[in-house]
Structure 1
Amino acid sequence: MPIKAILTDIEGTTSAVSFVFDVLFPFAAKHLPDFVVQHAQDPAVAEQLQAVRVEAGEGDADTVRVIDILLEWIAADRKATPLKTLQGMVWAQGYASGQLKGHVYPDAVEALRRWHQAGYALYVYSSGSIQAQQLIFGCSEVGDLRPLFSGYFDTTSGLKREVGSYQNITRAIGLSADEIVFLSDIVEELDAAQQAGMQTIGIAREGGELRGHETVASFAVIDLDRF
């Protein structure tokens, strides 16, 4: 069945891993403590701080302790939804001030634009929050890429290495799983998507092969007509 939708990862796929680990995470770690202190009473922030307490099993944690937990999670690259949401809020300020610009590989930009023009529906699935995803593409080095996308998915749809997450996304998109191709640099994510019935393409920008999946080094050589 021909491909109708493309679901892409961000980190290591459309965008450099180094942008996330060397730019975004340090920016959040530096600015998150002051952000939490200044906005702890804002309903949206307070809701996430309470979610941190629940997930950490520390219901009585004060704001200082919650900040410590968040910094521990950042250091451990913990895929915790309240952390990702708060990071997104901090990054939003950074993008708005011009301190941050989203990195997207030129070959990915060209392919995404071409696929959109050809009528494919484009979606993003990342462990980063939907807000963070929209900031990377909305405030990218080449301008606002958000009009290219039909939707975004994060860990609220499930973890990226679990088959059920891709089943949830398939239902949300409203297509048959085999009409969707998932792009990622992580073999366990590709395996889960494949088990859910999706087509898969591995992205290995440094070369090599992602076992069990067609693997390319660049978006420029992806051939959607072969499916």
Structure 2
Amino acid sequence: MDWQACLDEIHATLGTRDLERVERAVRAHGEGTPPEIVDKMQRPTVLQIRGLTAKPWHDRKDFSWVPAFEAATDGVLAEFLALETAREGPIDYMSGYGGGDDEGGWRAWMLHGDGRYVAESTARCPVTADLLRQTRISPGDAMFSEFLPGTIIPLHCGGSNAVLSCHLPLIIPSDCAIRVGTQTRGWQKGHVVMFDDSYLHLAWNESDKRRVVLVFEVYHPELTDLETRAIDIFYDHTARGDDAVA
């Protein structure tokens, strides 16, 4: 990635003040500098913003947008059930995480990615799309995520501590859970959970029924609005094909 071109665009768009943390992170990424180890379970190998509180799980009560999502759970679920009958169908999301014996067990209906909404899907899901648009989501993936019965997602991590992965549980059988760092939690329908996916994590569905959640990303709450806009530009540079963000 041409990190200097990325910084030049950040400065041309946003100025040069109060962006030191993002500038350092972009430069470190471009130069291949290893991340600072804060927690051995955390591996932000693509973009590490230093100084952010590092913890595997975050409290949904700290985010003002959560009640709107939780109140709309039944409407979001209804839109998913309608969407899954559409011609486009899901993608195999497992293939990006090593595949293995459970390849095909993690399927996704994409709503957003690389900073852009998927027009066909969001047109079919107006309630869900409005919720996402009214929330400061990151440029990353937003999707309906399905684990088929018996699916085990291998240990993996996202590439940046700048974002939190958020789940709105929709269809939740027993015997499914997610471990982030060393802490394991389950899902409960209609109760948002959020975690820092730069921590090593894995998930499983050991039931005989499918598990479905709405997944999206928001920025770490300790980032300023200016910093998130700068990180948007970084993600846009990577989406152009310079390199990939996990």
Q: Indicate whether the TM-score tops 0.5.
A: no
Q: TM-score, normalised by structure 1?
A: 0.27
